[in-house]
């Protein structure tokens, strides 16, 4: 069953056609990757799906309902949560406080509740802290809870970003280049974490440049080039696809079999 379904999606930026009649779907419970050379339109697709950008044309359906035109926080409330290619962390807050910012989305205590009923607000806060602790433990950085986010090594900052996303209790998590800038052992941890996220029943849709990571964990891979889908299939099908190999060779001088990180600016 298509959990996320994109049809006829086009985005123009002035004269630049960033996406051109793009269609694909993501099955519930799967790990699907969106790959393609720099400028292919991957981040633009993420921005449309998560309500940060209105498409020029096309539809986005999630769990059977149209989510086109919803604002980012409304999309997130429906369970479609993203991380960012550029970090979304508040560096001056502690690790634990950062996770609380993700939980805020699910918290029910508004200002009215705070004024009217301090006891229930305190209960709510205790519940949120417990949940933050669970999420930190899940990604493996609970021991860092009281350190400032900016003091974390880079790889752990990326894990914190995933923790912030998980705190919002997603049904589907969109990860934009979660392993960019990571060293090989950090990438291994990220791969393991993505697998465990899926085991929790969360559907994962990721944009990632690291081919070893993509090919190692994805059930399906969708390949964009210059705003159009040029291939879609299992990792093996995509790896052997002539158009894909040419797209990568043409723009990056790098073969799919050997390519690793190719860090693009957001």
Q: Which residues bind Mg ion (CB under 5 A)?
A: 42-43
Question: Among 29, 39, 72, 107, which residue sits at the site for ligand ADP (rule: CB under 6 A)?
Answer: 39
Question: Which of Mg ion, ligand ADP, none does residue 16 bind (CB under 5 to 8 Å by kind)?
Answer: ligand ADP
CB 138 within 8 A of CB 192: no
What SS3 class is residue 78?
coil
Convert 146-160 to b/e letters by CB count within 10 Å (16 or more is b): eeebeebeebbbbbb
Question: Which of ligand ADP, Mg ion, none does residue 40 bind (CB under 5 to 8 Å by kind)?
Answer: ligand ADP
Q: Which is nearer to ligand ADP, 22 or 215 (CB)?
A: 22
Closest contact distance (angstroms) between CB of 40 and ligand ADP is: 4
Separation between Cα atoms, residue 185 and residue 60, nearest integer Å: 36
Q: Which is nearer to ligand ADP, 43 or 241 (CB)?
A: 43
CA 265 to chain CA mean position, Å: 16
> Token pair of 242, please?
């002539």
Among the residue ranges 31-39, 97-105, 134-142, 182-190, the one whose residues contact ligand ADP (CB under 6 A): 31-39
Q: Which is nearer to ligand ADP, 45 or 139 (CB)?
A: 45
Separation between Cα atoms, residue 37 and residue 247, nearest integer Å: 7
Which parts of this chain interact with ligand ADP (CB under 6 A)?
13, 16, 18, 36, 38-44, 264
């Amino acid at each position: 069953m298509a959990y996320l379904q994109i049809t006829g999606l086009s985005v123009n930026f002035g004269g630049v056609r960033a996406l051109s009649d793009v269609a694909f779907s993501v099955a519930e419970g799967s790990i699907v990757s969106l790959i393609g050379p720099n400028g292919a339109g991957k981040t633009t697709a993420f921005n449309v799906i998560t309500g940060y950008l209105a498409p020029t044309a096309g539809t986005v359906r999630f769990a059977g309902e149209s989510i086109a035109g919803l604002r980012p926080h409304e999309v997130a409330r429906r369970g479609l949560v993203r991380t960012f290619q550029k970090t979304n962390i508040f560096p001056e807050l502690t690790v634990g406080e950062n996770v609380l910012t993700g939980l805020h989305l699910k918290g029910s205590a508004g200002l009215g509740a705070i004024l009217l009923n301090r006891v229930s607000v305190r209960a709510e806060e205790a519940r949120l802290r417990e949940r933050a602790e669970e999420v930190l433990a899940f990604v493996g950085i609970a021991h860092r809870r009281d350190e400032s986010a900016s003091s974390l090594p880079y790889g752990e900052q990326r894990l914190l970003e995933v923790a912030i996303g998980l705190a919002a209790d997603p049904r589907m998590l969109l990860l934009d280049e979660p392993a960019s800038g990571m060293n090989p052992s950090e990438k291994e941890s990220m791969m393991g974490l993505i697998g465990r996220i899926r085991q929790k029943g969360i559907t994962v849709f990721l944009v990632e440049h690291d081919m070893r990571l993509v090919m190692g964990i994805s059930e399906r891979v969708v390949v964009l080039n210059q705003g159009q889908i040029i291939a879609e299939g299992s990792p093996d099908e995509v790896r052997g696809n002539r158009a894909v190999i040419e797209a990568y060779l043409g723009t990056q001088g790098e073969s799919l079999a050997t390519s690793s990180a190719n860090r693009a600016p957001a």
